[in-house]
Amino acid sequence: MEKGILRSRWGGLPVAAVVVLLFGAAALGLEELLDKPVEDRSDLIVIDSMATLGTLERPPVPFLHDKHTEALEKRGKDCAACHLRDEKRQSPKFMRLKDADYESVMNVYHDNCIVCHREISDAGEKSGPVTCGDCHTKTIPVATGRQPMGFDLSLHYRHSKAQDKKCETCHHEYDEATKKLVYVKEQEGTCRYCHKAQTEENRISMRLASHLSCIECHQKTMAKNKIAGPVHCGGCHDLSEQQKIERVNPVPRMERKQPDVIFVKSSNPEINEKDRRINRVPFDHKRHETYSSTCRVCHHAAMSACAACHTQSGKKEGKGVKLAEAMHQIGTETSCMGCHQLQQRRHSSCAGCHVSIPANRQRSEAECLTCHMPPLTEEAQTAAAGQSGTDPFAAELLASRTPVTDTYGDEDVPEKVIINVLVDQYEPVELPHRKIVRTLVKNIRESKLAAYYHREEGTLCQGCHHNSPVSKKPPQCASCHGKPFDEKQPERPGLKAAYHQQCMTCHEAMGIEKPAAVDCVGCHKERKK
């Protein structure tokens, strides 16, 4: 694999961030790698730290970090064999606290790596290379199976419990006045809000911050003979190891004085309720906390209200995205409608219908009122304007909803529908219409999302009858899709194409193997001649 591909799988981070993971220099060498290609190694990194100081004279060196760490442990050594310490913590750099110039950094690697390899070789043990070409080689396939690592709600809860809820152990923010890191209670946010992919001014990268803080804490915990998190690359970044992480289910709610139910606030809280163009949206914050593994799904930039960055007119902090756009954008998990649409298409029980419904179709006023619910009383809406935190009026409005978990009765759902478009070549198709409808109802009965948005008994029918108004007797497909195809309406497939597109797409999205999409006689019996 080329170096460019390797760097992209590491997030495109600069060399200084990649070298963070170097915790050892005593090596088994590259002879083993020449015989057996390296694949799916979570500890595979590339040593090219001089690239920031000048043009590399030779190819970068592929390095297996955990292999070196294991070799050190067998010789009774630890991280200190390769990493120096300052007055605060262990340096992530190899045998130095900072980079001076190209030649000095190069000599640090050459002098220490080669010396270590020779010592091991002189002791009669298999060792690493001591010549330039054996380290700086283009012939070794470089691949990495490293998986990204982060905190979800479960892992966060376990750490919070282990630290006796001392949030200040990890959380801090920079105080411009004192020029120091301080802890502000109930203002805790994810590390990624400040620590970005790359080091910026006085803020180190997320990768660097994680390895300095997390590994240091794990090492100190282990020194006290307590159970601690991993200190090797694979412990965090190997997929099989990640799957072994103990899960807490259900996760107790995070204590941060967040509201239970609120009205989504606009960026202009002073607006008169009578002047609103549309009703405000009641939002069950507590329930939504259980739908995501991290708060960053919604609070992607800061642990503040959406309107703090996304105003009605748009501003720099929100990248110019207006509040209405932030709530209604399609194709992204960070907006309400976008997240709902993605959920509908990810789950097979919903995808059969929703993959056929255009994502950017025009919404009706009735659909808008599903979220922008009319207030129970004008007085309640006005009183709610001054509420902060949990809003009883919003909670009351949501409680007034009547979930829809069924469709029309059997008397209004035909048992079979005969499709006879292709009778010249095949026998008519007997569509088990009622069976399909009842199966769809059963599949989504436990879905709160479906119960919320299927506001009428006939909403389910629109999965197939997608451009028809809700009705017990929607018009046939042929009322819109002509036979043959109408070239004046290129966006509308002909009747034959419409049937195949609708049925096959649904079967594929729902994982239905039969009738097979590639076998015509799975649906059509051949017509006898």
What tens digit of pLDDT does each residue of 437-487 get? 999 999 999 999 999 999 899 999 988 998 888 899 999 898 889 888 888
Average pLDDT, integer, range 94-109: 93
Question: Is 235 in a helix, a strand, or coil?
Answer: helix
150, 161 contact by CB (below 8 A):
no
What tens digit of pLDDT does each residue of 257-273 get? 899 999 988 766 555 55
pLDDT-above-70 percentage for the chain:
87
What per-residue confidence (pLDDT) applies to 1? 33
| CATH fold of 261-399 | Cytochrome C3 (3.90.10)
What does 375-442 look like in DSSP terms, one character per residue? PS-HHHHHHHTT--SS-HHHHHHHHT---------GGGS-S-EEE-TTTTTBPPEEE-HHHHHHHHHH
What per-residue confidence (pLDDT) applies to 444? 92
| CATH fold of 3-135 | Cytochrome C3 (3.90.10)
Q: Tokens at residue 75, please? A: 């010789």
Asked, colleague to colleague, whether 3-135 and 261-399 share their fold, the answer is yes
Cα separation of 519 and 32, whole Å? 50
Cα separation of 150 and 130, whole Å? 37
Domains of the chain by residue range: 3-135, 153-242, 261-399, 410-522
Which superfamily is assigned to 153-242 in CATH? Answer: Cytochrome C3 (3.90.10.10)
What per-residue confidence (pLDDT) applies to 15? 32
pTM of the model: 0.80
Cα separation of 382 and 290, whole Å? 30
| CATH architecture of the domain with residue range 410-522 | Alpha-Beta Complex (3.90)
Question: Is 413 in a helix, a strand, or coil?
Answer: coil
Dihedral of alpha carbons 116, 122, 125, 130, sign: positive
